[in-house]
Amino acid sequence: MTSFIINDKEISLNLRDGKATLKTIRENLHLQGSKEGCGEGDCGACMVLLGENIGESTLRYKAINSCLLPTGELSGKHVVTIEGLNQKRLSLIQETFATEFAAQCGFCTPGFIIAFTGFLMTTTDLDKEEAIQSVSGNICRCTGYVSIKRALFAILKKLNSSDFKKTKPGSAARVKLLIDENILPSYFKEIHKKIKGMQPAGIPILSSHKIIAGGGTDIAIQKRDILENQDIYFISERKDLREIFLNEGKCYIGGAVTFEELRTSKIMEKIYPQGKNVFQLIASLPIRNRATVAGNIINASPIGDMTVFFLAMDAILSFSDGINKREIPLREFYKGYKTMDKKDNEILEWIIINVPDKNTFLHFEKVSKRKYLDIASVNTGICITVKKHIIEKVGISAGGVGPTPLYLSKTCEYLTGKKIEESIIKDALKIANEEISPISDVRGTEKYKRLLLRNLLLSHFIELSPKTINQNILSL
Amino acid sequence: MKDYDVLLHVKGESEFTADRAAGMEMLHIAILTSTSAHAKISAINFDDARKIPGVAGIFTEKDIPGNNEIGNIIADEPLLAKNEVHHVGQPIAIIVAESRDLAKKAANSIRVVYEELPPIFTPREAHAKGSFIAPPRTFSLGDIEGAWKNCDCIVEGSVEIGGQEHLYLETQNAFATPKEGGGVKVYSSSQSPTAVQKTTAGILGLPMHQVEVDVLRLGGGFGGKEDQATPYAAMAALAAMILKKPVQIVLKREEDLCITGKRHPYSSDYKIGLKKDGTILAYDVKFFQNSGASADLSTAILERTLLHTTGSYFIPNVRSYAACCRTNLVPNTAYRGFGGPQAMLVLESAIWKAAEKLGINPVVLQKKNLSKKGDEFPYGMKNLSDNAIKCFEQADKKYDIADIMENANKWNESHPSKKKGVAVMPLCFGISFTSTFLNQASSLVHVYNDGSVGVTTGAIEMGQGVNAKIRTVISRVFSIDISRIKSESTNTTRNANTSPTAASSGADLNGNATRIACEDILSRLKAFVADQLETSPEQVEIKNEKVLCGGKETKWNWTSLVNDVYFSRIGLSSLAHYATPKIFFDKKIEKGDAFAYHTFGTAIAEVNLDCLRGTYEVESMKIIHDAGQSIHSVIDRGQIEGAVLQGIGWLTMEELVYGKTGKLLTKDLSSYKIPDIYFSPKEISIEFLESDEPNAGALNSKAIGEPPFMYGLAVYFALQNAIKAFRPKINTIFDTPLTPEKVLLSLFNDHQ
């Protein structure tokens, strides 16, 4: 039995944990405003808000693709569909979308309105770029997004003159303000209390017949049948693994930490200040709200963005089967295409990295057909320590150029102890080219992937040392 | 002013076809499709599938009571394959079960044994082997053979153009319920209810009146639901009729991508000849259209390609040859622009190369050769307007094309690894169905005796705002508040023999029919007032819901007048028919006034290219567009904005990749990418051409749906210019889409 709040009603349903929330909404709850556009988190037509209490006073909402969200995850949470935003009069967002004709065929519209409502609940800032980011997981085929942008900016402008910025995301004050500004219906005031009154989900019990799901954003696509018919161990219930902390020069990232939690983490910001922007290239906000860093590693995709980033940092993985714990370097984790050194009942509990010192430079590059919300053709990370112009230590990773995410150990070995100069870089590029074995597929031809990796490796060094590496090196 | 449909959309209350089935008990369909591109079916084993509990029926071509035929123009396409398959994804059988997942499971358990036959995938190969859908056609003007000797510069080349997935957000779907007397009612997501009705009736062996088709709205169409919504509606109807239960079919996104047709890929060869001063004298072009495995709308699309051979330009000597080449890919179909964009891309490529050879900017050639009033198109029609030139001049005056280009050049000099590119695209697009008989529409207008108004036409609302435009027509003719007016679903029992909502003509045809229906009712209202006041009807007018006589207010307003008219037993409904006047086309000589008018415009695109990564973004699109006297400029602006991005997508990131056996590899949204909000041009500026010319569109407006799609070409050539700025000596190849991969390879691959 799953008990949750759907819009303004508390309900209990007896459904399989793995049933997609979108199906539950449309088939069992008979709410037709959420649409299926792709069924794999790539369009946002099914977007809902998922609210949960964090501590005593915070009610945190996230925009989520309901097609990838297992119904079992709704337990003790608040699900908001477009119907849950409808009142007698239009909300400010609905009103502005209508005024700007920011809806043409209307199929994607509820998803956009949900996503942007979520933004106003969670943002600290009424920034235009952030507003765009909030709907970057929503695809519209009609408008060209121009009228949608006009609507978003008009709403930001209107709210700029309110006390918006004085309220904290997730606070009762924010909820009240959004009710007063005609963005949320008044029943939202009661939600925090209602959730509190609900039975909290217990700590899950690991057993061999259960399928382990992080955010489930990949399983729900690749293994839909299994997910729908098996019991699920939701890592999201492991609150103990939902943190990022520092200890003795190392940073620990929990197995339940999502991409978005990593992207916005203050600790991560110190380690990799560019991450806040760079990680926007990975998935979309609603996917980042669900997908876990650990899940990306366990997924073992040769092109996993987070994996490639942490591979460059030479991360250590810490596993537990509930009794025994063990650690293994990420570098040694993959044994071949989608095969890895992991038992079925083991959970990746922590990803551990060394906190880089002031001489260490981190950089991540990714190129895909579409810049945002796309799978990379090639990605690569670098973690390089340079002292007095000499490379003391370097880790370089590359994705999309082999059966697993690659750690370019020969290239790294060659570079270690060398000075950063053009001839050295050129030689390193040649070594890297021999270390990789890309194949032609939908993400690009072999020839392209080799050329692209060369240029992206080059861009690491251009970013690191723009003066030494002249841009004319491009002609090499 | 907010719009009725949009107000429903923002609340998620607008019903799409699948939503209309909510709460009804339905059986569900999965389709068994071919995994081979070309084969004989030697055996099919349904045994395992039939044993699955919950499977209600499995139907093949043998179960079709009528004709197993869905070809609308040429009868060459079965609903369900018989003995042979001609493309991957071709439907072979339909499986009906209690749930969609169950039906899919059953479909997966069916084993088909194929005897493989040699497939053809490229139009050039098909052409060489004489594999045609219909005989090739040629349009001519002047003396092409005699013209070359007068040319100072001749350039030859080829252009390869990729297809495009429609990616309407709502996938193909339909449901059908059996009706008394053996009939069936079909709820379809179709741009063409009459095609659904006629084809379904043919499949079921019923007269058309036994098949009622109802369409409320579509979650996007773009041409993809003009002809290709039909088979799914017919499948649901077939199953519903046999099983005597309501049956629903909703394609999953992957199925939709794999089994529905796309924009036609074209291979083309051109030869262009110019005088030293840049005047284009001769243009000889061959279009090889990749039609796919059956005709669908390919012949009509090819015709529009021929009709747009010379784009916005006057060229005195032209030969344009075009062939529908039959291949073993999914039958390609209508898509915004309908063959026009491909023709223009080939010509613009030829101009680009000619300019390169002459050492001048292509924009010089573009400007010099624009078609003016009275110039002849290769199909014999004279240009009725100078608006191609006016749009260009207005764009140049407002934005200063030379200045934009010079700034880009300066910027490029100081940025070794980043380049800007600028290009211009002049537009001239013919408006009317090229099949003349389709240029007709009907409209049924009811004025209810409380003063509210209902309208039903053949027009399908799919986001283009046609319903809002039709309501605007009613509101203007009656001079009443638009909130009084409601658009009903399109239903074949109310509007018969409707043309598809396509060719940008929905508002033109149905708006005009609606205008006539309203004028008819209005004349009755006026006659009633004149009779009561013993004056002539010419003295009576309705203005802002007030009834005036000789300019003075009377005792009536709209509602009281309507009420009184009703009590006087005068009809308050009208069914009107409209046919576009004066158009004709003689296929024997390939000449005629094929179009009611042309739509014109000019776009300037500026792009930024990151040469290190091969990635790019659109900095700006600046557009002057001729929308005539727009009925609804907000909707027209929205159509331009949307079409522009779709056009850019076609030529940049939207890439269809097929495996060696003809299987689509880009079969989901994680591999087939369409523009997202970040890819939308950073700046887009749209200004309408001031024009008081009379037009055949409703209330002197012009059609808007397709033409602005072709502004996307400006981005393509801007990108080519940026690439050239990095590699001035590059031998540019025209092979769309220009993905980041192709960009990077052309920037660095010296073998290009």
Options 3.40.50.2300, 3.40.50.10490, 3.90.1170.50, 3.40.50.11740; CATH of B4-118+172-250:
3.90.1170.50
How confident is the model over A106-140, as pLDDT tens digits?
Answer: 999 999 999 999 999 999 999 999 999 999 999 99
| Cβ-defined contact of A32 to B638 (cutoff 8 Å) | no
- Asked whether A424 and A412 are in contact (CB, 8 A), the reply is no
- A8 by Cβ neighbours in 10 Å (0-12 / 13-18 / 19+) ranks as middle
Per-residue pLDDT band for A474 (boundaries 50, 70, 90) equals low
CA distance B295 to B400: 45
Domains of chain B by residue range: 4-118+172-250, 355-434+587-748, 440-579
The B residues from 210 to 269 touching A (CB cutoff 8 Å) are: 217-220, 222, 252-253
Q: Do B440-579 and B355-434+587-748 have the same topology in CATH? A: yes
Chain A with chain B: Cβ pairs closer than 8 A: 230
Q: Is B220 within 8 Å of A455 when comparing Cβ atoms?
A: no
Q: How many CB atoms lie within 10 A of CB A137?
A: 28
Chain A contacts in chain B segment 641-700 (CB below 8 A):
641-646, 653, 655, 657, 665-666, 668-671, 673-680, 684
Among candidates A33, A42, A474 on the partner chain, residue whose Cβ is nearest the Cβ of B417: A474
- Residue among B164, B221, B254 at smallest CA distance from A40: B254
Residue A446: closest C-alpha in chain B: B741
The structure tokens listed for A381 are 């990370």
d(CA A136, CA B108): 35
Task: Name the token pair of B305.
Answer: 């390609």
Closest CA to B32 of B47, B42, B18, B44: B44
Instruction: Give the model's pLDDT for residue A27.
Output: 94
Which tens digits make up the pLDDT trace of B720-729? 999 999 999 9
Given a contact cutoff of 8 angstroms between Cβ atoms, the answer to whether A349 and A241 are in contact is yes
Q: How close does chain A come to B739, measured CA to CA in Å?
A: 7
- Assess whether pLDDT exceeds 90 at residue A401: yes
pLDDT value of position B98: 98
Query: Alpha-carbon distance A453 to B362, whole Å?
Result: 35
Q: Name the class of domain A1-199.
A: alpha beta
Active centre residues of B (catalytic): 706
Q: Is B588 exposed, middle or buried (0-12, 13-18, 19+ CB in 10 A)?
A: exposed
- In chain A, % of residues over pLDDT 70: 98
Residue with tokens 């709460």: B23
The Cα of B535 is separated from the nearest Cα of chain A by a number of Å equal to: 43
Place of tokens 């026009």: B340
CA nearest to B706, candidates B643, B645, B650: B643
Fold topology of B355-434+587-748: Aldehyde Oxidoreductase; domain 4 (3.30.365)
Chain A residue with CA closest to B656: the answer is A442
Task: State the pLDDT at residue B692.
Answer: 83
* Cβ-based neighbour number of residue A258 at 10 Å: 23
Domain ranges of chain A: 1-199, 238-475
**Residue A406: is its pLDDT beyond 90?**
yes
pLDDT for residue A348 is more than 70: yes
According to CATH, the topology of domain B440-579 is Aldehyde Oxidoreductase; domain 4 (3.30.365)
- Prediction ipTM score: 0.97
User: Is it the case that residue A162 has pLDDT exceeding 80?
Assistant: yes
Q: What pLDDT is stored for residue B751 in this prediction?
A: 40
Whether A258 shows a pLDDT value over 70: the answer reads yes
Domain A238-475 classification at class level: alpha beta
Taking contacts as CB-CB distances below 8 angstroms, the residues of chain A near B736 are none
Q: Model's pTM, two decimal places?
A: 0.97
Compute the nearest-CA separation of B217 from chain A (Å): 8
Q: What is the pLDDT of residues B398-413, one digit of tens each?
A: 999 999 999 999 999 9
Which residues in chain B land under pLDDT 50? Answer: 751-752
CA atoms within 13 Å, Cβ hemisphere of A463: 17
**Bridge partners for B325 per DSSP:** B132, B290
In this prediction, residue B696 carries a pLDDT of 85
Cα-based distances in Å from A290 to A5, B129, B407, B675: 19, 53, 45, 23
